[in-house]
Amino acid sequence: MTDALWYFARGSGVVSLVLLTVVVALGIGARSGRTAFGLPRFAVNLLHRNAALLAVVFLAGHVVSLLFDPYAQLRVFDLVLPFAGNYRPVWQGLGTLAFDLLLAIVITSLLRKRLGARVWRIVHWLAYLCWPVALLHGLGTGSDNGTVWLWTISALCTLLVVAAVGWRLAPSFSRFPERARRHINPRLLPAPTPALTQPGTPSQPGTPPQPGTPPQPGTPPPAHFGARASAQPGSYEEVR
């Protein structure tokens, strides 16, 4: 029984690494806008999401089986706190770090609509850190770290991701390479506070301007005065 836990932990770790490799490659390919890997774009998107969730399932199996494994001797806080373990703390800590990063990526993806696209995308870039850390963890710890088959799998995974990154950086990656970058008119950016734009205002740096305060005599009204007056609520409401 104790051997079963150890074997399951090793197997599920390798499976989740392979799945994460596929997820990273699909995620890079989905950025292209072309029909990558011979799939429609929505299929790349859905496969990326579903493979990632499946990788989380295998990773949960990997972590839980190691928690109950008498050989690994993990404590509960070893699952989230990296580099604190007793056995090969650095290599095991890399796995913990990758686990934490993956949790952050998955949770922000599930809450993407509430967080907004910008926060979600910034956290999602952590995948480029998460995947190499997970790969190193697999190479450095466990009882398979010197075997030919694990090195072969790791090399193939690395090859796939390096090829995807190379394709990402190639000029032929984008579907519309000549599409102009979007420029935003500075007037449409969020307006700075009047205290910063008006050097002559007597307001102190520590006191923010009150919304209801009338303009001081002698100071012209801010340039964006009345810019928000046109913001009327629309005649529609969003469907949840």
Partner 1 sequence: MSHAETTRIGRGQEPASRRLHVDWTACDGRGLCAELLPELLTEDDWGFPVARGDMTVPPALEPAARQAVDRCPALALRLVSERPAPASS
Q: Enumerate binding residues for partner 1 (CB under 8 A).
A: 30, 33, 40-42, 45-46, 112-113, 116-117, 175-176, 179, 235-239
What's the CA gap between 240 and 238, in Å, rounded? 6
What's the CA gap between 56 and 110, in Å, rounded? 13
Q: How far is the CB of 234 from partner 1 (least distance, A)?
A: 8
Closest-CA residue to 95 (of 86, 83, 113) = 83
In terms of CB distance, is 3 or 237 closer to partner 1? 237
Planar angle of CA 132, 95, 169, nearest 5 degrees: 15
Name every residue whose Cβ is closer than 8 Å to that of residue 52 and which is 6 or more positions away in sequence.
19, 20, 23, 106, 109
Q: How far is the CB of 44 from partner 1 (least distance, A)?
A: 9
In terms of CB distance, is 117 or 156 closer to partner 1? 117
Q: How far is the CB of 166 from partner 1 (least distance, A)?
A: 21
Answer whether 127's CB lies under 8 Å from 105's CB.
yes
In terms of CB distance, is 46 or 103 closer to partner 1? 46
Helical ranges in 75-226 per DSSP H: 89-110, 112-115, 117-124, 127-140, 148-169, 194-197
Q: How far is the CB of 172 from partner 1 (least distance, A)?
A: 15
Q: How far is the CB of 221 from partner 1 (least distance, A)?
A: 27
In terms of CB distance, is 48 or 137 closer to partner 1? 48
In terms of CB distance, is 3 or 178 closer to partner 1? 178
